[in-house]
């Protein structure tokens, strides 16, 4: 199990080195034969819980330098996972981050993610659709799909989606592949806001949640 985890984490260091646009999002992994695997980089982790993970990620993402050509990033997708520490307690890590791209109208978003973190060159497109919520006095973007762009079927893996379309706000959504539940971070906590109800990745909001 430890060998498998080391292999995954070593692969992650290559992913970040190849994909991330800024050193602030980089992850380096060092396997010390005389001690535990060490995680180096401001965003890698470990984190005690998911709320701490997304807080740290949002802070880094909002402080990314603005490109003179691309302007403020729209957001990011992130692959995350948990692994036990030496005491058997689960810790949380970010393994891959990909920028959101525009497509499918003004609100359409997508990102490219690895199918398997051990083999990062094999990728799939996560289509997120998108819409804007103005009910709370701001024009907040939210996903309307979790769809595999190649197969046309519902996305199957856990993923975090960060919206940074404004310089001061970071919206966070999560999708759990097993349950197909969509959550949003509100007041520092993950709150269920929808479920994917069909095989085409469409999100059905829970009441007035989205």
Give pLDDT tens digits for 127-155: 999 998 776 656 789 999 999 999 999 99
In a domain, 178, yes or no: yes
Cβ proximity of 107 and 132 under 8 Å = yes
Range of the domain at 194: 2-65+74-205
Structurally, the chain folds into a number of domains equal to 1
**What is the average pLDDT across 34-42?**
57
Give the Cα separation of 83 and 100 in Å (integer): 27
In a domain, 112, yes or no: yes
Convert the pLDDT of each residue in 167-207 to its tens digit: 788 999 999 999 999 999 999 999 999 999 999 999 999 87
Give the Cα separation of 204 and 210 in Å (integer): 9
For residue 91 the two structure tokens come to 């810790």
In a domain, 133, yes or no: yes
Starting at the earlier edge strand, list the strands of the sheet with 75-84.
Answer: 90-99, 75-84, 159-166, 169-176, 181-186, 189-196, 203-205
pTM above threshold 0.75: yes
Question: In this predicted structure, which of 16-30, 74-88, 152-166, 195-209 has the lowest mean pLDDT?
Answer: 16-30
Give the Cα separation of 33 and 165 in Å (integer): 43
Q: How many other β-carbons are positioned within 10 Å of the β-carbon of residue 33? A: 4
In a domain, 210, yes or no: no
Work out the percent of the chain whose per-residue pLDDT is above 70: 69
∠ Cα 113 114 117 (to 5°):
135
């Amino acid at each position: 199990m430890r060998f498998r985890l080391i292999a995954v984490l070593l692969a992650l260091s290559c992913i970040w080195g190849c994909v991330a646009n800024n050193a602030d999002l980089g992850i380096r992994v060092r396997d010390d034969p005389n001690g535990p695997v060490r995680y180096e980089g401001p965003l890698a982790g470990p984190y005690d819980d998911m709320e701490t993970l997304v807080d740290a990620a949002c802070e880094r993402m909002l402080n990314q330098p603005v490109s003179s050509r691309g302007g403020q990033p729209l957001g990011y997708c992130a692959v995350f996972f948990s692994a036990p520490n030496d005491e058997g307690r689960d810790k949380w890590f970010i393994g891959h981050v990909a920028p959101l791209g525009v497509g499918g109208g003004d609100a359409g978003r997508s990102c490219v993610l690895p199918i398997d973190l051990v083999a990062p060159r094999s990728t799939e497109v996560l289509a997120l659709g998108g819409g804007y919520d103005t009910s709370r006095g701001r024009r907040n973007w939210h996903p309307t799909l979790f769809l595999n762009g190649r197969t046309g079927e519902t996305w199957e893996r856990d993923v975090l989606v960060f919206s940074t379309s404004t310089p001061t706000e970071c919206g966070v959504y999560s999708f759990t592949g097993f349950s197909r539940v969509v959550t949003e971070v509100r007041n520092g906590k993950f709150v269920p806001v929808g479920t994917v109800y069909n095989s085409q990745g469409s999100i059905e909001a829970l009441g007035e949640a989205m």
